[in-house]
Amino acid sequence: MSSRTRTRSVKTAAGVHTVRIPRQRGRRSEPFVIVVPERPSLTREALGFVGRGLWTFRQALAPTGLSVLAFLVAGLLHVIAWWSSLVIAPAAAAPLGWLLVMQRRHPARSTALAWRIGLATLATLAAVWLALAAGFGPLAGPLALLWLLILIAAQTAWLIIRPSR
């Protein structure tokens, strides 16, 4: 077999092999280019499956994403500026103020009042956790367990009150 009829393998971008077929005798056209992608690894397939699942259920997992973001922000604030907890701490009273204003403007009874109290309590607890985690670190003492409990409560409440499609 002569060298003119053999294929040459040319490495290009990561994960893609380009095979160039030499020009045929008597033809005046451009050579054919065949791109053969590599098979993805099992790890890439698994990460793709998990990523597609997270993307599909992204609205249902909104509290989890926000909780993870709050955890990272609290850790970053602790490292950069521990005194930011003193700025965040007064924000813990905002949900209680919201509850009082809502109850005064639109009085509620029984179930609606219970949901308002529960949401205000959860938001107050989350703001207190953020202030403490920014001051002492998100993994200090029982703060990690408290973060997990707030995450579970918020995700459960979100799945209950979120309108299903």
Q: Which domain holds residue 85?
A: 59-161
The predicted-structure confidence for 81-111, as pLDDT tens digits, reads as follows 999 999 999 999 999 999 999 999 999 888 8
Kindly state whether residue 88 falls inside one of the protein's structural domains. Answer: yes
Q: Would you state the pLDDT for residue 156? A: 92
Q: Would you state the pLDDT for residue 121? A: 93
Q: Which helix (H) or strand (E) holds 11?
A: strand 8-11
| 29 and 105, same domain (yes or no) | no
Both structure tokens of 156: 């459960």
DSSP sequence for 14-39? TTEEEEEPPPPTT--SPPPEEEEEPP
Sequence-ordered list of residues with C-beta below 8 angstroms from that of 15, at least 6 positions apart, any chain: 37, 38
pLDDT classification of 38: cutoffs 50, 70, 90:
confident
Considering the chain, what is the average pLDDT of its residues?
85
Q: In total, how many domains does the chain have?
A: 2
Both structure tokens of 22: 């030499």
The rounded distance, in Å, linking the Cα atoms of 83 and 80 is 9
Kindly state whether residue 53 falls inside one of the protein's structural domains. Answer: no
| 73 and 115, same domain (yes or no) | yes
| 24 and 100, same domain (yes or no) | no
For the full predicted model, state whether its pTM sits above 0.75: no
